[in-house]
Chain A
Amino acid sequence: MVESIWVMASGDGSWCGLVLRSITPMALRYRRFSWLLVRNLRKAAGGGGGGGPLVFVKRFPRRVLSVLSNLPLAIGEMFAIAGLMALGTVIDQGEAPDFYFQKYPEENPVLGFFTWRWILALGFDHMFSSPVFLGMLALLGTSLMAALTQHRSPWLRLQEGGIFCTQLRQSVSRNFQTICPGSIQDLGVILMGAGYEVFLKGPSLYAFKGLASRFAPIGVHLAMLLIMAGGTLSAAGASEAQSMLARDLQSIVLYDQEGKFVGVRRPNSKLPIDIDGTRIVIEDAIGSTGLQLKTDPGVPVVYAGFGALMLTTCISYLSHSQIWALQDGTAVVVGGKTNRAKAVFEDEVNRLLDHVPEVVESSSLSKQSDMISGFELQKEDNSSSFYESFRSLNVRS
């Protein structure tokens, strides 16, 4: 079932790759990306960093991008935004300066230093439109965008995962590794039965499941960017005609003298409402009193972002599991990696491995195993012997 095999290796021997072009149905989709692999690997061999899907991004100084997409920075930004929001709920918003003079006086500062000067200088009286808060949000936005570029082309990463090396001790980070007796073909069949996509080449095997979950974080970041863009649009373009007017004679939106929203009342309910100290009951609504108009250009964008966020968050709950296996004599060395439910994954794989039938005797397998078991003892940075083993494996196929 294997059409052709490409063998790739970097100039310094730091990594290797076997890519198979197979005609199994799922693999057909990845055929066209093998050329992408070649192109990108050649570039990577030249010492490049992350090949993002957007070409113009490459013109940005790489250092700026790598600084902006730093994970601790992002976490710090999120903490800062959370803290500012909490502060915004504690400090009363939108009051006259006198209020703050009284509540946070200089003679008796809250927490020993917090006076009205801090509040008015930093804009905390209108926290959610203050430069500090908006600046933090903008910074988070740039971090999100930088993080997007750092996701290397998803197809490239898939092919990277499809690279299964003859040495399981290559720098593939695994969650667990185990060994089970049997043949690797049986393991492949069992994995296929369990819903994995299996790639089998000679003594080595690669299988994965749940590919969507790998791309879900990208989707979440994109959705957040959409929402932020929509919010910016709203802030820039929204306008409202405020008054005490009937919307559709069934519900009346009420604003007080300063234009702050107070509440909604329906005439039939006769529920009272307090506005500016007076209690009002809406008795009836007569037509021809006018309209409340509100235009908000950002709403469709924000709704699109909402939908995308809901969807991608749900998808990211699924786990993306990968399994590498290598035939070693009459046994198979299996390594696995997953991004979500780690303990459950281990149990699942163990249960699957229990089903692999033991191979009692196999003459051809033992010859192959002599060749391969020598590989496991080699060190990772011993490039020359690595090439030797590689070449000899190539010869065998």
Chain B
Amino acid sequence: MAARIHGGAGAGAATALSTFNPKKLVAPSRTNLPAARSSKRCIVAGGGSDASKSLSVRHSQKLIASAAVATKAETSATTGTGHELLLFEALQEGLEEEMDRDPHVCVMGEDVGHYGGSYKVTKGLADKFGDLRVLDTPICENAFTGMGIGAAMTGLRPVIEGMNMGFLLLAFNQISNNCGMLHYTSGGQFTIPVVIRGPGGVGRQLGAEHSQRLESYFQSIPGIQMVACSTPYNAKGLMKAAIRSENPVILFEHVLLYNLKEKIPDEEYICNLEEAEMVRPGEHITILTYSRMRYHVMQAAKTLVNKGYDPEVIDIRSLKPFDLYTIGNSVKKTHRVLIVEECMRTGGIGASLTAAINENFHDYLDAPVMCLSSQDVPTPYAGTLEEWTVVQPAQIVTAVEQLCQ
């Protein structure tokens, strides 16, 4: 099968995205996040005063990633046959294809083998490839991340899974000093082709320690690349590209996106690691986002379109390095930028992106860059409070209206 490298254009907004069923909201158990259709769509009236009321009433819908705005879906999936699957299955497909292709690829992490992966990304792989290639590690992030990096120094290509991104904080020394820096400090002698992946982000009332966004902590480590997937299509493509890359790549997945359904091509494809994805072209304002916030943005975009705005939505995908080419072209067109992210306000990806845009495209901006991010608080357990820590579509609509005045 010939591999095709897809640029980001138009690939993401497939129409057949399924949503979570609010009625089936159960206490989050790792292996069965519900995935079903929701018929209710929430149109949020603009402005903040009745937002809280509507939020508390339609609490469950607000947490849901709803269907994206119907746009030109020019994926090959719609032209060819393609097959429909969920995001975690797309990740698994990508991983399996790469493991078939290259015997140096192995997976290590907690419960990735016999258990099948806490989010089922590695389901079935242990049976197919054996214990030496799909390794169940004990609970010692520092050690098994270090081991993966040591193995990579000799030429293996481990995919290291953090059961939750937050646990990788325990391996920070290995990721920062060894993973990121060994290529440089050895004068180019060693390459570290690891992929470090795992789910992060605010889930459904998982508590402060299990709702972390680690992009902000890792972003200044020199020598690594960071990507965030958001659809089954780019999940599989980025997984494959990350495994094939000679650089260490951190692939950020999101706990709430694993059950998104989409049709992806049958043929082999990979996505460019450094490229952003144009979700919805527009004229009035550039909205930059990634991961789960893409869906909140698209939801807000529906409202905005009804109000007569034409937002351009770009899923930046590549968190390090930023795809300033795509972003720059967009800024030059629209002259207004809104960044919507799930990272913390202080020192997050949005903060860096704001700085980068201001530095590079200051002359093209008609308004200051606005950044909507999560609040600088530990994520509370209570559902209503948790909602308020994360950016909601209503706030996005308000921000766009403000910027476009």
Chains A and B belong together in one complex: no
